[in-house]
Amino acid sequence: METGKVVVERVGGKSAAIHCYSKYPLKFIIPNKVGPSQIDAVWIYTITYGGGIVSGDAIKCDISVGDGCTTVLTTQASTKVYKSVESKCSEQVLEARIGSDALLAVIPDPVTCFSTAKYSQTQVFKVFPSSSLLIVDWITSGRYGRGEKWDFELYKSTNNIFLDADEPLFLDTILLEQGRYSSIAERMQDYQVIAMVILLGPKLKFIQDQIQENVKNLMSQQLRIPSGSSGRYGDIDDNPFLTRPSFLASCSVFGQKGRGVVVRIAAMTTESVYSFLQCQLSGLDSLLGVAPYR
């Protein structure tokens, strides 16, 4: 059963939320205007009662963006997932339909799972060839200041994009689970954040080209081997000339004729990811009214 639903259509030549429904534990906030008056975009903020997702919560959202509309789905703070009680898993499901010449930007703050938490989210997007879609999906190691470093039991995030309702365009799942022989913290080592950014469609083409070039240049600097090294990699912990990069990113295309771009990130600080997103997505203020992660 749906926990929330928003429908955005063009009314009087402008994007407008014509239907908005939510029930406990979910609530939507839709400001009258975000950014300059000439910008045509509906901003939707999702919040949960109690300031986070409680063990056993099941939230299902449905978002429909009509032809020619622009919609932003975001949060006011990080999504906190509280500890699991009786091994219950918290779940969130988002199903979104983006019409022709429409743009949906899903730009939340990161998920932060508390110790022993179990959390699974699934996001399904249905697009047309002229639809545009931005997704930012990221998670921190937890309450690092309290000593909780990758201390949750389970995190699973699935993002699926379908073209013309049923043709798979992008299928992806990230799974972090405590193992019998190694913990998540051991596998993640010094990295405190992992993130994924997906850009798809004609309205985001200029950002796609820019971010591919920027990631290439950034990584060529980060991964440059110091001149004093022997040129042999070996174990990074035993080589005084090599240090583990504080920020790693990769970029690749997907879909026919490379219509989409996906960026994957691992970083040692949340601040560095915020800075990266601010820089790379700053050009979107002309479409969204306000640049993401300002």
Q: Is the pLDDT of residue 100 over 50?
A: yes
Q: Can you read off the two tokens belonging to residue 238?
A: 């035993």
Report the amino acid identity of residue 290: V
More confident residue, 241 or 150: 150
The mean pLDDT of the chain is 92
Q: Is the pLDDT of residue 104 over 70?
A: yes
Q: Is the peptide bond before 25 cis (omega within 30 degrees of 0)?
A: yes
Task: Look at residue 81 and tell me if it is in a domain.
Answer: yes
Q: Can you read off the two tokens belonging to residue 17?
A: 């939320």
Domain that holds residue 188: 4-224+240-288
Task: Look at residue 210 and tell me if it is in a domain.
Answer: yes
Write down the pTM of the prediction: 0.93
Q: Is the pLDDT of residue 224 over 70?
A: no
Q: How many CA atoms lie within 13 A of 124 on its CB side?
A: 12
* Phi, psi at 268, each rounded to 5°: -85, -15
Q: Is the pLDDT of residue 28 over 60?
A: yes
Contact 74, 44 (CB under 8 A): yes
Task: Look at residue 160 and tell me if it is in a domain.
Answer: yes
SS3 12: coil
Q: Is the pLDDT of residue 43 over 60?
A: yes
Query: Per-residue pLDDT tens for 194-222?
Result: 999 999 999 999 999 999 999 999 998 87
Domain count, the chain: 1
Task: Look at residue 233 and tell me if it is in a domain.
Answer: no
Task: Look at residue 229 and tell me if it is in a domain.
Answer: no
d(CA 92, CA 261) in angstroms, rounded, equals 25
Q: Can you read off the two tokens belonging to residue 86?
A: 């009786």
Task: Look at residue 293 and tell me if it is in a domain.
Answer: no
Contact 83, 53 (CB under 8 A): no
Q: Is the pLDDT of residue 234 over 90?
A: no
SS3 210: helix
Task: Look at residue 101 and tell me if it is in a domain.
Answer: yes
- When pLDDT is cut at 50, 70 and 90, the band that residue 180 belongs to is confident
Predicted pLDDT of residue 294: 84
Q: Which of 137-151, 182-196, 238-252 has the lowest mean pLDDT?
A: 238-252
Query: Which residues is 14 bridged to in the sheet?
Result: 11
Residue 14 has a CB neighbour count (10 Å cut-off) of 12
Task: Look at residue 231 and tell me if it is in a domain.
Answer: no
For the chain, what's the residue count?
294
Residue 136 has a CB neighbour count (10 Å cut-off) of 22
More confident residue, 48 or 235: 48
Q: Which of 66-70, 161-165, 192-196, 230-234 has the lowest mean pLDDT?
A: 230-234
